[in-house]
Amino acid sequence: MSTVTTEPLLRYSRTQRHPRLRPRNSRLLNPASLNFRSKTVELLSNGASFCNFKPRHRVQPVRASSADAAVLDTFQSADVFFKETFSLIRTQRVEGKIFIRLDQGNDEAAWELTIGCNIPGKWILHWGVSLIEDNGSEWDQPPKSMRPPGSIPIKDYAIETPLKESSEQDIFYEVKINVIPNGEIAGINFVLKDEETGAWYQHRGRDFKVPLVDYLQDDGNMIGAKRDLGLWKGALGSLSNIILKKESSASKLQGSSSELEDTKQEKIFLEGFYEEQPITKEISFENSMTVSVQKSPETAKNLLYMETDLPGDVIVHWGVCRDDAKYWEIPKAPYPPETTVFKNKALRTLLQVPKEGGNGCSGLFTLDEEHEGFLFVLKLNESTWLKWLGNDFHIPLSGSGGLHSQPGQGQFDVLKAERATDTNEEISPVAYTEGIINEIRNLVSDISSEKSRKTKTKEAQESILQEIEKLAAEAYSIFRSSIPTFSEETISESKVQKPSVRICSGTGSGFEILCQGFNWESHRSGRWYMDLKQKATEISSMGFTVIWLPPPTESVSPEGYMPKDLYNLNSRYGSIDELKDLVKTLHEVGIKVLGDVVLNHRCATYQNPNGVWNIFGGRLNWDDRAVVADDPHFQGRGNKSSGDNFHAAPNIDHSQDFVREDIKEWLYWLREEIGYDGWRLDFVRGFWGGYVKDYMDSSEPYFAVGEYWDSLSYTYGEMDHNQDAHRQRIVDWINAANGTAGAFDVTTKGILHSALERCEYWRLSDEKGKPPGVVGWWPSRAVTFIENHDTGSTQGHWRFPRGKEMQGYAYILTHPGTPALFYDHIFSHYQSEIAALISVRNRNNVHCRSTVKIIKAERDVYAAIIDEKVAMKIGPGHFEPPSAPERWSLAIEGQDYKVWEAS
């Protein structure tokens, strides 16, 4: 049986054997052991939360003075001219455990297998059994007597059973399976699925297996394996207790097939075990903050009252401003209790716990009327600061009301609509919509006016238009997040397309067309930079706007993907001066340049005293603290890896502050010294996407794309139609990076493979009638492609179906997303057809967020209309676009593809 290949966050395990097996009613897991590590914070104007945990500790409450209490009483009784409630959504990485326990039931012949989890979620156990006569790793459905209530058959090989709330105090969810050893079932196989995120938790990328016979071959995924018999190595190299004993000797188990058959019939004795597996999950926590302002009737000063249910100690980092420029100033005293001055630039006030106690806190600020606004951010700890859509909160201190935001920073008037509803005022949806549209039109009209053209440079106008495009993306993201897109059985887009804290998408203008400017053999000439320079004008004339260059650093491998000294840019592709010259030439012909940066791993220069290569040289002379601790090949002294290890070279520990600071400085140097406009990020599965956000925020690329390569889902060797779990994992990475970079749409490439190779074009529509790849869920972050230096070229690891390349390009060049084209195809006999498709895309302004209407997705034909401007079809089947209301003219056709334009 084949399942979705999701890499679990399970690194180590702990096993306990009888007679020290914990009793059923004992506290197996202590919530205090959960480690809540805050990673990202997003502030939304709406959204739902998974759960709210109690704070781990509180400091002694700070009490307000009697004078402050009197002012607060006056405040609560007076008229308020400004009041806003902000929804604050915090994302935290929560560490918990999956546990597996085998207990003897009341009947000596009956046993009970318990599987559970202590992290909140909608957990589903996807499980089956292996029969003794089966070969390999195939699953079968268990007998009905083993199936817990609520179980649902999945085809003919598995069962899905929801985990229920546990009766044990410290465990959230569990499921119990009755096990009666009968000599027919060799083992129980399972994976744990979280329906809220779409993630599958496996055992080092494989199914968990609880063996019920003691002669199975261990393939590295057994739970509770015996160590003393020497038959198994254990589940994670240190697990030691399953728990099956037979009356026959170990030598008999290794005998002939007839002896083995006799052994299967002998009586089996089980021994209970208890085992834990670490698990981590990103969980959203929703809180709110209300800010109110009124004039004091006695002193004419402004009274600002702030209240929030955020847990723990909340510090307000604040100041005031005199005008819309929003320059921070420190106001005159008096200040609230527990206020300190921070570097003569701002004030910091610890919000007070209410007199009656509880988790919330509040503060009262008295401000002179000469100030125009109150500026602040919230500080939860040294690494967690809350802002509003990437800006400081700005509260007006006049009766004009409304939350002021920086121009072009994504402020949408959602809260105003909520206030009107609270006061029973009806807002016309048409008037509300037209008002926003008219404001955008007025802004565009101002840019295009004669006066504007005289006073604004071309660069300024382009900057404003790009900001409008980014705002449109944020508005679309909020709109999508408010509408259920998928059924409860799949992950909804509202959980993956959250508005960014900072609008810095790394997706350019949305009209980019990317050229991969090398292949696997490009290093062999020794002068690739100079060769490519000669083709710069030709590449630009074809319509490409961005080019991806090969890795520039000194490397152990000639292709550049085993970097050594990051600041040495003399590579097999050419010298640093030749690279600068190439970038300069590309800029002159209007092409942005992406550098291929390898951040996951780095080759060492020296060996440590044990002979392990983990000491680095050059300008970044790190020691083994920069290497992750859980890759045994390189004996690092850093922390555990936040992703998958690349075992060919030391994996870098991005949790180290000095590592991140050095990488950010290096990226900045590359931008300044070489002139790169953005990045292609290699092997981003190796480290947490939150670190990518940090690097993107620091280097501010025009465009960035990550290589998150993951296996699609297959059953019995055939690709599954539903690849939601696969694209969800890519989307999860993009979301972890806060949308600051896109990702290659591996899902779309894989589905195109099966659709074109097997003539199964129905695969190109998902269950909701949308494109089935990342481009169907988050098109602005999807970089579509059909081939690259790994999959094609001389490597050919996953080559696109031969002779069908132009069908693939007809698809990605007419659809949303950012299309990336491979060098070997651009400079081949396909060149004229590719140029014609690019021309159609550019003439009709097809962009990364264009809309797709799928007309046909049948066995032998796929057809769609994009933005009501372009119609296309691929496959040998027949399709002609409808004659009304548009009139269509054929723009280009080739073998099994056609593209039309609306005339």
Instruction: Tell me the catalytic residues.
Output: 682, 707
- The residues facing 863 across adjacent strands are 856, 873
Full DSSP string of 509-546: TS---EEE---TTGGGGS-HHHHHHTTHHHHHHTT--E
Structure-block tokens of residue 315: 């510090």
C-alpha separations of 766 from 732, 747, 762, 774, 854 in Å: 19, 12, 9, 11, 10
Structure-block tokens of residue 638: 């850093």
Residue reference for tokens 């959602």: 414
Could you give the 3-state DSSP secondary structure of residue 850? coil
- The residues facing 751 across adjacent strands are none
Computed on alpha carbons and rounded to an integer, the radius of gyration of the chain in Å comes to 30
Provide the strand spans (E) within 132-202: 152-154, 158-162, 164-165, 173-179, 185-194, 199-201
Nearest to 401 by CA among 290, 293, 300: 293
Residue reference for tokens 């959960």: 34
Q: Which helix (H) or strand (E) holds 693?
A: helix 689-699
470 CB burial (10 A radius; 0-12, 13-18, 19+): buried
Cis peptide upstream of residue 334 (ω within 30 degrees of 0): yes
List phi, psi (to 5°) of 259: -65, -40
Structure-block tokens of residue 594: 């992406």
Dihedral sign (CA 746, 747, 750, 755): negative
- Pair 440, 412: CB distance under 8 Å: no
Note the Cα 98 to chain centre separation in Å. Answer: 22
Measured CA to CA, the distance from residue 230 to residue 207 in angstroms comes to 22
Measured CA to CA, the distance from residue 827 to residue 339 in angstroms comes to 66
Full DSSP string of 555-606: BSSTTS-SB--TT---BTTB-HHHHHHHHHHHHHTT-EEEEEE--SB---SE
Q: Which helix (H) or strand (E) holds 275?
A: strand 273-295
Measured CA to CA, the distance from residue 633 to residue 435 in angstroms comes to 62
